[in-house]
Chain A
Amino acid sequence: MNPLISAFRFTALPPETNAFRAAIKDFLKSDMEDSAPDVRARSWMGFSAAFSKKLAARGWVGITLPKQYGGANLDALSRFVLVEELLAVGAPVGAHWIADRQSGPLILKFGSEAQRRFYLPKICAAEAFFCIGMSEPNAGSDLASVGTRATRCANGWRLNGRKIWTTHAHRCHYMIALVRSSGEPQQQQEGLSQFIVDLSLLGVTVRPIRDLTGDDHFSEVFFDDVLLADDALIGTEGEGWAQVNAELAFERSGPERVYSSIVLLEHWINCLRRGPDAAVHAATIGRFTTHLATLRNMSIAVTAKLMNGASPALEAALVKDIGTEFEQSIPVAIAAAISMNPDAAVDPALYRTVAYLSQIAPTYSLRGGTREIMRGMIARGLGLR
């Protein structure tokens, strides 16, 4: 059988995760503030430092990190359960999200012992929020052509350039930035390095960008002669591209590529259960249920591979492409369904939630790599490029 297809082996979550899941549900019932579905629909774009701190107090930020750095030393499938429960109710997880998913594991894997001791406990305590500096005005899908440059100077590095579309940069403490430390942009993947940039440093300007829903979930970041110490470099100089690619399997395969519209879907189902129109829309609900269960199994299969030390970047690209297509199809179907009959009353919160998602859903197949990039990666994996 084709190896990409056989990579998606059905994997059941281990029964030990049931107790953990129950504990998370209890926590969310008691510690998550009630909010309207259109607010919860912000999902991992929702930012609440207070909520992240409460979660950290339970030991549930950075749970896959080793105990000596403040983590819980739990495996990737436990993290899957935690993330799934948080996303299912639309918990505002954006503050610690990137650090928990990517920056923490990156620092653990590529960081020096001093960097681990400095950053990881802060991540686990929800005291250090991270963003990822990838895109630039002239480097979007063509990520390897980044022009932001770190130049050697007396006590470290001098950083100049600009990052854009950086999620929550204006609310974060640190950015892990992919920048050029040697060579020219034409050299593409060579000469790139990753730096941890303290966003409070002199010369850093962060400007939030307002989106079409009225939120400011991303921003533009300017670096003007920012002086970085030697230990701002993470991993190996010139190995930035390879390091970034190691993160991508974490970034692209998780439940957040399946659950972005789940708050809307759950709210619609609740409205249907109370109203007279359930029978009309049962088949639509059935199709979404089928796709959700299947995508979840695909995501678990990739998580199991990650847990076994593999870096399934190709499988992750596949999950991201088909998962975001599902997420985007939900507001389309629900908007049509609730305006099928102009005489019928529409739940006001449902109306706001579907409007929010219709507007923001295009970003689902942009963030973390566009649809075209994902399909190109899959084609490469199939031996076509």
Chain B
Amino acid sequence: MFAEAIEQILQDLCTPAAVRAIEAGASPAPLWHAVESAGFLELLASEADGGAQLPLADLFPILCNFGRYTVPLPLAQSIAARALAPAHMLPAGMITLAAALRREADGSLCCPLIPCGVIADFVLARDDAALLLLPGALAQRSASGVRGSLTATLTWCDDSGATRIPGDGAALTAFAAAAHAALLSGAITRVFEMTLQHCKDRVQFGKSLGKFQAVQHQLSVMAEHTAAASIAAAAAFHTEDRTPTFLRAAMAKSRTSEAAVLVAATAHALHGAIGVTEEYDLQLLTRRLHEWRMTHGSEAHWNLLIGQHVLANDLSLVELVCSA
């Protein structure tokens, strides 16, 4: 199956050491080429475009693993792009998705805080109802300045290098949110597992941390929110459509973003000081939990949109939720 083959690549080439190196400026090419040459970027491309046209439900565990392995490249975005635009119109190279596109008065274009914006070759952005493909080579890249983060704001002095691509702008927004929900879900689950193991291994006062009731209850609550995040993210991908629907994507991003805060905080509380060191791998995950929570809209953004949708509707809340 695709999922196992991709996980094998991640195990070999997306090790914590490789992630740290790429974050520090090393080339992402080995990992990228391994995925690209195996054809895994075309998982969602239509059969007419030579793709696998994988159902979204089967893509979900793959995206979760990208989160679990803290993949520092726009793999999820490059795969999603093939469902958003005709694959034959997309260039070779790393494509990331922009959360917003601003057209400034001087004719310049700006995409703020793009995930993997430091290294992406192309940016696929929503231009109202349509899509715009923008080349990274022509952009001025301004990294966020956060240590280890590959997020950057990209600006173009005009739209002369931009290519209009037939597609649905709203679908890009929904897919980007759902993809980050899946990344969050994978990373949250891994953080939970690491914390559980740490509490079984670490001994204080003559017994493992997990024997203390106060610790047990924190881990139980963490498990609850991990399970909630996981099923909320999964729901966005259980659709016959080629891209996630607005409401499920919105709820997936909201729920996983909310859980990310609790899970990151509990993980660090239970790990103690070792958890905030550069050397220990927890930071690769929790830094991403905070970043991905803010990427493509936090829970505050999505809750507002979901609430407006509910209030503008005639259905009861339960009817609306049942039909979502």
Contact = CB atoms under 8 A, between A and B. Distances in A.
Interface of A: 1-2, 4-5, 7-10, 12, 21, 84, 88, 259, 262, 265-266, 269, 272-273, 278-279, 281-298, 301, 318, 321-322, 372, 374-376, 378-379, 382-385
Contacts of B235: 10, 293-294, 297
Given A10-B235, A84-B318, A385 B216 contact: yes
Contacts of A1: 189, 193
Given A5-B227, A285-B307, 13 more contacts: A9-B234, A10-B234, A12-B238, A84-B322, A278-B311, A285-B310, A291-B255, A293-B321, A318-B227, A378-B219, A379-B213, A384-B215, A385-B211
Contact of A298 (B213, B216, B228, B300): B228
B210 A384 contact: yes
Contact of B254 (A285, A290, A296): A290
Contacts of A288: 317
A283 B196 contact: no
Nearest to B226: A5
A281 B226 contact: no
B69 interface: no
A298 B307 contact: no
Given A291-B255, A378-B223, A285 B231 contact: no
A318 B221 CA distance: 9
Interface in B286-321: 299-300, 302-311, 316-318, 320-321
Interface string B182-212: 0000000100110010011000000000110
B227 A273 contact: no
A291 B228 CA distance: 9
Nearest to B208: A384
Contacts of B250: 290
22 contacts: A1-B189, A5-B189, A8-B227, A10-B234, A259-B318, A266-B317, A266-B318, A281-B307, A288-B317, A292-B317, A292-B318, A294-B231, A294-B255, A301-B231, A318-B220, A322-B227, A374-B220, A379-B210, A382-B223, A383-B210, A384-B210, A384-B211
B254 A262 contact: no
A259 B316 CA distance: 14
Interface of A is mostly: helix
Contacts of B322: 21, 84, 296
Nearest to B64: A1
B307 A384 contact: no
- Which of B234, B258, B307 has the most chain A CB atoms closer than 10 A to its own CB? B307
Interface string B234-248: 110010000000000
B152 interface: no
A290 B217 contact: no
B11 to A, nearest CB: 15
Contacts of B308: 279, 282, 286
A188 B205 CA distance: 29
B251 interface: yes
Residue among A9, A265, A286, A288 facing the most chain B CB atoms (10 A cut-off): A286
B303 A287 contact: yes
B216 A379 contact: yes
Given A375-B220, A382-B196, A384-B216, A286 B303 contact: yes
A34 to B, nearest CB: 15
A284 B231 CA distance: 21
A292 to B, nearest CB: 5
Contacts of B307: 281-287, 289
B41 interface: no
Contact of A289 (B196, B221, B258, B306): B306
A269 B227 contact: no
A301 B235 CA distance: 12
Contacts of B310: 269, 282, 285-286, 289
A244 to B, nearest CB: 22
A24 B268 CA distance: 48
B173 to A, nearest CB: 16
B244 to A, nearest CB: 13
Contact of B223 (A4, A269, A272, A278): A4
Contacts of A379: 210, 213, 216-217, 219-220
